[in-house]
Structure 1
Amino acid sequence: MTSHFITKRHEDLRAQVRAFAEAEVVPRIPEMEASKEVQHKLARLIAQQGWFGVTIGTGYGGMGAGHLARVLIIEGLSRYSAAAGGIAQASILGDAKILHWANSQQKKKWLPEIAEGRCLPTIAVTEHGSGGHVLGMETTAKRRRGGWVLNGRKCYVGNSHVGDVHGVVVRTGRGNRSRDLSCFLVQADTPGLSLAPHKPAIGMHGFSFGELIFDNCVVPDENLLGEEGDGRDIADSSSVLYGRLNLAAVALGLHRAAYEETVAFCNDRQRYGSDLGDLAVVNARMGEMRHRLETSRTAVYEAAHMLDTGQECDVKLMSAKYGAVQSGIHSAWDAMRTYGAAGLFSNHSIERIWRDLPCIEPPAGTSDVQLHRLGQKSRRTKYEPWSSRLAHLLTAA
């Protein structure tokens, strides 16, 4: 399974990720599943590989390898563990706001730290009361001499409990206009910022997507990202250009795992005097899984390649997330049907994959949201895609 977009450099990176995952991630999975605790050590170990700097330019110490390379890193880790893939995707997503919106001083301060694996960035947008309705958020930042005071809560923050610097989108105006939102870089040890206790979800055990609490949290003026009023654009551009493709890559890795594990299971089990896979219904099911996987991979890789080459591709990115998640979930269900009762127990990885995939549905917009946005783009004629607006910052080095 390959693509004409894949180069020798990509193949080498893919092999590097696979070797790391087999040596460092797979042995940790039983404990991750049993404890469901945040994997602080694993997060730092992944960061030390330099992969969080995959799209950061070499001038800041990053890999400068581009967006297809980030897909391969996230997909490769997710093939073995959704939590490991989630850790990578959340920090790489955290890069976006700084790459696209930071001033030169902020880039010099943060990008080398991220590229070297000494800083894990996050982005915090969602709130319980507003969900995907960004303009409905209630967390505020109020001016004070030399800085701002933040109050409120953010939920479902990827890498919440391991992040070092959070890009927090808050309300700085009183209305419901896009210009009423701004974004601040808030370091994890800032007084007034605390974490709600980690709550394990149905899947992705070991990954944290929890809650940040701001109680008179003071940040200086120099921590304002972009200009006052840029918060909505920072949230939207990060979600479209990084979040959706990252999550598509996690879904792709899990989809690949479901397919490969099912093939191995069918080749190992005997039914009616031959391999389970020789049964016509099972063989057709594996064919359908393979079709979905190949179709999803093509869409995801093409979208990443278009980002790398500066092409307009917002719609491709939305479609990639929608297709990868939906097809992955369908294939996980087909895998479970093939395993039968055996798939219900944790001695088979398919049970974990079946739980992990639904966790990829909500972030960066559920599938319903992707369809809504795609419908809007179909009717809107004056929309300027983020992939065009930020093209000069998106092409591979």
Structure 2
Amino acid sequence: MEKPYLVIEWNDTETDATGWLVIHNFVKGYTSGGIRMHPQVTRQEVEHLAKTMAYKYVASESTTTGGCKGGIAYDYKASDAKEVLRRFVIAMMPYINSDTTDVSASLGEDLGTSYHDVLNVFKEFDFDLPITKSMKQDETVQKGINDYNELLKTKIDGLFLDHAVTGYGVAFSADEAWNLKGGNTNARVVIQGFGSVGASCALKLEQLGYKIVGISDANLLVTCPEGLDVNKLIESKNEYGEMDQASFEPHYVVQSNSEWLDVDCDIVIPAALENAVNGENAHKIKVDLVVEAANNPISKEGDDMLREKGVDIVNDFIANLGSIRFYDAILFGLIEPETQAVIDDIDTLCRKNVRKLFSEAAKKQAYQRNIAKQLFKPSISDTPGPEKSMPL
């Protein structure tokens, strides 16, 4: 299962946008992942992300869903970005809402896209969420869809629940790993990326007693050795996760966003693009714990350097599974449809996976990423077809 099951390329007829839907595997005819929009998106990146999603569903203990990903090479800040996204989703509609085979690719948000915008396209085609024909006949799933839609309206700590769950899961993972390492209290954290994942991760870590001493976004890096006011920074940021420098405290220091690895800290959390840590900057990392909030944020060259330096890693498909666990747990009725129940479930699962990861790595004296790939390797790839209709 190293190669994707299906790769579909799309070329927009109205702009120069190009996009891909990559299905790594189906489980019971179902596969799921977000849509990423960014000028630098490539087919190779989308294939890599779809594979990561397959691992992530195993780590989230799903028995119902495989991994897929959508990617659009286009500027998500462009005035017509929503129209480009709409045309991409419509082009992929035969794989999202099929009436000929009992399969479905469920697409949501990722970097540069909004789940609300994706849902609006689904509603144009008279359905709420992409599901298979078998799922449409399942009363538990039908109830789960309604419960999920209601939970999307709820908030926790001032954030919409679906904007909080992934970042909170990263924070729980980082906290568990730091505790296992016997780390000191009031540990200092630097977060690269301040979208919904980076912001919610920063907020939860602050609540857990950590000092957020540096945050970078697309424009700048802001630092403060005594700790940044995360709530105030969240209130000031725009829809793209960019902070408003005019709202910074006078004692905050503003630097180039390329200097985020130069900040003195204990834990580094990359929460933005792929390969943010790479062969050119990995030597700057002086911490001994990196927690991946973004998907694939460390290149192979960067990873080799961190392994040689003895840096501990909590990799992406363990740390940032909050969103897909939320979706799966509610859709398939695994937990009570309550806001705190969702958070508690993610907390429990992330910490359990981190303990398993560190225990196995210590036992085998091996790098955490290699152990994670062994522990959570996908083993199911169902072949779609009309005869493959399976009960859940």
If the TM-score is normalised by the length of the shorter chain, which range does it land in? under 0.3
Select the structure that is richer in helix. Answer: 1
TM-score (norm: length of structure 2): 0.27
TM-score (norm: length of structure 1): 0.27
